[in-house]
Amino acid sequence: MCGIVGLFLKDPKLEPQLGAMLTDMLITMTDRGPDSAGIAIYGRPEKGKAKLTVQSANPDADFATLADDLGKAIAGKVTGVVKDTHMVLELPEDRLEAARHAMRDLRPKAKVMSAGEGIEIYKEVGLPKDVAARFEVSRMSGTHGIGHTRMATESAVTTMGAHPFSTGADQCLVHNGSLSNHNSVRRVLRQAGMTFETENDTEVAAAFISHKLQEGAKLGEAMEATLTDLDGFFTFVVGTKNGFGVVRDPIACKPAVMAETDQYVAFGSEYRAMVNLPGIDNARVWEPEPATVYFWER
């Protein structure tokens, strides 16, 4: 099982409702994966600024002076907003890599959930309704977003084992299925310099796409490569700063439904995730074909 939802807005008028729409979609998928849940929201990037979303098991101690400490370490202005176990740090775009490095010394136990100009990722063990409420996702605006509710198959039920996985700036991936060659692909990617936080198969798929993008592939090409190099079952939904993509393995036994109107492109593991979207009755609704890449970019 596992439930996936995604929404890529074409109409800016819907942007203030992105978090609320995705939350509703994800809660509808709760019975497909009750052990952990997560959501990636892409806000409109602010010129010259970047965001680092970090997570801590001890947020009071770790977050109290983090914005100031990080500001000193990177010699730049850092502001932060704490939401439960997560904190979103806003900083100068050209200091993003320096900030990632500084975090390892400043707060070695805190985890980086995402980094980039638009992306924020919130994920924890628990049901979608509880995870979404803890991080007030329904109040967030944005241009596109992806949500996941997990029934673990390949690694422990932990915060870091929850989806979405982010392995590159402004990139994320969620997965329904299980990969059979993830250990060998992980070894190859490690040799190429990619690093991993978990033993999870989905993290390997995310890193595989990030590595292809680093090598210069376009989003569609990177997704196409999953069809030749990754074995097993998958429906993947991928987010980038300006893009949103879907691909299913050649057997395609993991369910997927898409809907498109003039206002949005939506993805659900099942149609019921999309019933409350505006204009859904007149949307073009279809099942994505096996071994076929679909993507949209602004």
Ligand X SMILES: NC(=O)CC[C@H](N)C(=O)O
Q: Which of 154, 166, 225, 247 binds ligand X (CB under 6 A)?
A: 154
Determine contact, residues 58/86, Cβ cutoff 8 Å: no
Cα–Cα dist 271/265, whole Å: 13
Determine contact, residues 55/113, Cβ cutoff 8 Å: yes
Q: How far is CA 57 from the centre of its chain?
A: 20
Asked whether position 164 contacts ligand X by CB under 6 A, the answer is: no
Asked whether position 148 contacts ligand X by CB under 6 A, the answer is: no
Cα–Cα dist 163/24, whole Å: 17
Nearest CA-CA partner of 224 in 246, 242, 243, 240: 246
Listed in sequence order, the residues at least 6 apart from 142 whose beta carbon sits closer than 8 Å to its beta carbon are 9, 15, 18, 19, 41, 42, 43, 44, 118
Asked whether position 160 contacts ligand X by CB under 6 A, the answer is: no
Asked whether position 202 contacts ligand X by CB under 6 A, the answer is: yes
The piece of 95-103, 146-154, 208-216, 276-284 that touches ligand X (CB under 6 A) is 146-154
Asked whether position 150 contacts ligand X by CB under 6 A, the answer is: yes
For the CB of residue 187, give the shortest distance to ligand X in the complex, in Å. Answer: 18
Nearest CA-CA partner of 173 in 295, 284, 25: 295
Q: Which of 138, 153, 198, 292 binds ligand X (CB under 6 A)?
A: 153
Considering the complex, state which of residue 95 and residue 123 has its C-beta at the smaller distance from ligand X. Answer: 123
Considering the complex, state which of residue 35 and residue 69 has its C-beta at the smaller distance from ligand X. Answer: 35
Q: How many residues bind ligand X (CB under 6 A)?
A: 15
Asked whether position 144 contacts ligand X by CB under 6 A, the answer is: no
**CA angle (266 as vertex; 257, 220 as ends), nearest 5:** 85
Cα–Cα dist 15/226, whole Å: 31
Asked whether position 178 contacts ligand X by CB under 6 A, the answer is: yes
Asked whether position 201 contacts ligand X by CB under 6 A, the answer is: yes
Cα–Cα dist 273/269, whole Å: 7
Q: Which of 1, 81, 133, 188 binds ligand X (CB under 6 A)?
A: 1
Asked whether position 186 contacts ligand X by CB under 6 A, the answer is: no
Considering the complex, state which of residue 110 and residue 206 has its C-beta at the smaller distance from ligand X. Answer: 206
User: Which among 1, 2, 154, 182 is annotated as catalytic?
Assistant: 2
2 is catalytic: yes
Q: Which of 118, 128, 177, 245 binds ligand X (CB under 6 A)?
A: 177
One-letter amino acid at 130 equals D
Determine contact, residues 125/74, Cβ cutoff 8 Å: no
For the CB of residue 58, give the shortest distance to ligand X in the complex, in Å. Answer: 25
Considering the complex, state which of residue 21 and residue 173 has its C-beta at the smaller distance from ligand X. Answer: 173
**Positions marked active-site:** 2
In the complex, which residues of this chain contact ligand X (CB under 6 A)?
A: 1-2, 150-155, 175-178, 200-202
